[in-house]
Structure 1
Amino acid sequence: MVQLSALFHTFSKNITSGPGKKSRHGVEREAAIHLAKEAKRHELVLTASGVATARNQKNFAAAYSKQGKKGLNQDRFIVWQEFGCQEDMIFCGVFDGHGPWGHLVAKCIRELMPSLLLCNWQEAVELNGHDADYSLGLDRNKAQFDMWKQSYYKTCAAVDQELQRHPGIDSFYSGSTALALVRQGDLMIVANIGDSRAVLATTSDDGSLVATQLTVDLKPNLPHESKRIAQSRGRVYACPDEPAVHRVWMPNGQTVKGPGLAVSRAFGDYYIKEFGVISEPEITQRSITIRDQFAILATDGVWDVISNQEAVEIVASTPERAESAKRLVEHAVCAWKRKGKSNVIDDISAVCLFFHHSIASEAVDDVKLNKNYV
């Protein structure tokens, strides 16, 4: 396995040998960006509807996105195989933009988050030492999770700051959710901001597949979310014409363009950040077992019309894994249409990550792209 620290060191020497002197963090960030470019060059990064499989056949991912009836498709996703040149690592993310600039916000986050996370994780690894988990007598997965958790916190804070300073994107009234998953060996770390959702499919004792929700839909009416918003002088309520949709509103007497925000955590949306909306992720972990078959990451365009168990059954019953994400999205589109004309179909995106070897996947090249969506 290629050692990420060695790559960072080699690239750092190349940068610092030139004119000018960069900070250590700046050098490591450039190294992470360089690795991202190299991954794209070697077709290890998937950002268009298609499939990706690792050379060791341990991970197989299918992704698909379909534009709704609201205008531009504001969903974005990414699958990065061999994340950070590590054969046992993969990064998956889905991002659901909203507001006039939502599509650009989601795209910006997709570009920033993976490389920044890689940089912060490498810093955490070096700070704690490669064998810190053993020397401290800690459970290995716990030590790894702690490093990933702190890396995610730093990354999300940095992404939100960079987005606010971005000269080409007005994110004051626009924003995006973010759902990211990293698999490192048998450890899975999931970080969530907003109302996209991750669901795990696990084989039960009787052989059937059972859906387990890995994330919480972070909406304003959740008790701990509404409490934070109220403490920041924000308001949470649902309008009479949408009684089931609770939104975050500014304090009485203050106005805002368009409707209130239907999520309690998001990147961007700076008009309402001081009133309780935050960009801090909720982070969870799970040790993958032989019974865990696949994970689904999808935007709310799926979960508004399809249950967790239905989604698992749709994916599991798809004859070819490569078609699983597309089939799930198409089922969601049909479910939206059944709701009637009064319900405008949302943008719908899904990533299906399979954990174990499949004979059918051997016929798939390292990465195949069907670039009908960028």
Structure 2
Amino acid sequence: MVETMRQFSSMFNGLARSIRGKNSGNGDGKEAAEAMAKDAKKNDLILRSSGSVNVDGSNNLASVFSKRGRKGVNQDCAIVWEEFGCQADMLFCGIFDGHGPWGHFVAKKVRESMPSSLLCNWQETLAQASLDPEIDLESDKKHQRFHIWKHSYLRTCAAVDHELEQHRKIDSFYSGTTALTIVRQGDLIYVANIGDSRAVLATTSDDGNLVPVQLTVDFKPNLPQEAERIVQCKGRVFCLHDEPGVHRVWLPDEESPGLAMSRAFGDYCIKDYGLISVPEVTQRHITCRDQFVVLATDGLCSAGMGCCIQSGSSSNSIFDTGQAESS
């Protein structure tokens, strides 16, 4: 696997071998993607329960903790998946903060669907890039990797949101979830954010102290680019008198649903009025200064889930994801 990471152009062949010969090397990226997705679905029972997929003998450390607030059912859920995509140096982490009457079901459904869908789209995109004579994967490995992951995430989120809308047993018309996920691949991390959960990197300054670096934007309705899109779609953004400073998204002619974020899965009552499920995808190179990443929802009662990863090069990288329910 180390060689496949060093030689990005050969990564697809390594992936094909990792799914035990199901893709016979005929260049059919779709077959490889389908086989990988099938393998991923074998972990469904694990995803529905603990939210972690661990590897025997791994040097990674993972702990999961969640605390219910005073609202009732805890609508947050999370996942840590080691050796994501059958790659020894890849890891998938995510937190999902549900809201609305069916929010806990929506969050769990997105957690179950997103990893395997992302693997499928990543495999297809990687295969297409490997076979496209106009794309030179060796020319700019970092840029090409980012382009492949971003394209995969965009396709995945669109597919997951469409699947959720068609789900017969989950009513997500007035319910939804955020989704903040990270893929670590070697010394790079790819962050995809939908909603107002937050990723913060703890890195070491020159004087040896830990300093926070925010990796994501909280997608609140009053952000200029978000508000402009909502207003253009005939939605409204304003605060209630008893909630000064809390901007919410409202339908054109009624005070509903009052969503306090501008991006989310679900919430189809307002999808035609500016709410979107398009992720912002970014990347960051991990250095020896970087210590851990905190993924956190916007609740007030802090809780957490952590994963400590030995980098295999020059540093330890800790990915720590926090969940919280609002009090």
Q: Report the TM-score range of the alignment, normalised by the length of the smaller protein.
A: 0.7 to 0.9
Residue 171 of structure 2 corresponds to residue 170 of structure 1: yes
> Tell me, what secondary structure is at the counterpart of 2:116?
helix
> Tell me, what secondary structure is at the counterpart of 1:78?
strand
Question: Once superposed, which parts of structure 1, at least 4 consecutive aligned residues long, lie more than 6 Å away?
Answer: 130-134
Q: For 2:50, give the aligned amino acid.
A: A
Q: Which residue of 1 aligns with 2:7?
A: none
Q: Which residue of 2 aligns with 1:201?
A: 202
Cα distance in 2 for partners of 1:53, 1:6 equals 19
Q: Which residue of 2 aligns with 1:17?
A: none
2:36 counterpart (21, 32, 38) = 32
Q: CA deviation at 1:64?
A: 1.8
- Mean CA deviation greater in 63-72 or 85-94: 63-72
Cα distance in 2 for partners of 1:264, 1:349 equals 24
More helix by share: 1
Q: Deviations over 1:244-291 (max 9, x none)?
A: 21000011x3453xx500010000000000000000001110010111
The answer for unaligned runs of 5 or more in structure 2 is 5-13, 313-327
Cα distance in 2 for partners of 1:165, 1:130 equals 34
Q: CA deviation at 1:357?
A: 6.3
- TM-score, with structure 2 as normaliser: 0.82
Greater relative contact order (CA < 8 Å, ≥ 6 in sequence): 1
Q: Which residue of 2 aligns with 1:4?
A: 15
Cα distance in 2 for partners of 1:24, 1:138 equals 22
Q: CA deviation at 1:74?
A: 0.5
Residue 308 of structure 2 corresponds to residue 354 of structure 1: yes
> Tell me, what secondary structure is at the counterpart of 1:296?
strand
Identity of aligned residues (%): 55
Cα distance in 2 for partners of 1:67, 1:99 equals 16
Q: For 1:118, give the aligned amino acid.
A: L
- TM-score, with structure 1 as normaliser: 0.72
Pick closer, same or farther for the CA change 1:131–1:30 going to 2, 3 Å.
closer
Pick closer, same or farther for the CA change 1:356–1:46 going to 2, 3 Å.
farther
Q: Deviations over 1:310-356 (max 9, x none)?
A: xxxxxxxxxxxxxxxxxxxxxxx3xxxxxxxxxxxxxx553334344
The answer for unaligned runs of 5 or more in structure 1 is 14-22, 306-332, 334-347, 359-374
Q: Which residue of 1 aligns with 2:264?
A: 266
Q: CA deviation at 1:39?
A: 4.9
Pick closer, same or farther for the CA change 1:178–1:103 going to 2, 3 Å.
same
Q: Give runs of aligned pairs for residues 155-194 of structure 1, distance below 5 A.
A: 155-194=156-195
Pick closer, same or farther for the CA change 1:357–1:284 going to 2, 3 Å.
closer
Residue 173 of structure 2 corresponds to residue 219 of structure 1: no
Q: For 2:265, give the aligned amino acid.
A: F
Cα distance in 1 for partners of 2:145, 2:29 equals 23
> Tell me, what secondary structure is at the counterpart of 1:36?
helix
Q: Which residue of 2 aligns with 1:344?
A: none
Residue 288 of structure 2 corresponds to residue 290 of structure 1: yes
Cα distance in 1 for partners of 2:56, 2:101 equals 37
Q: Which residue of 1 aligns with 2:275?
A: 277
RMSD across aligned C-alpha pairs, in angstroms? 2.9
Q: CA deviation at 1:201?
A: 0.8
Pick closer, same or farther for the CA change 1:350–1:139 going to 2, 3 Å.
farther
Cα distance in 2 for partners of 1:244, 1:132 equals 52
Q: CA deviation at 1:35?
A: 1.9
Q: Contact 2:76–2:98 at 8 Å: present in 1 too?
A: yes
Q: CA deviation at 1:69?
A: 1.0
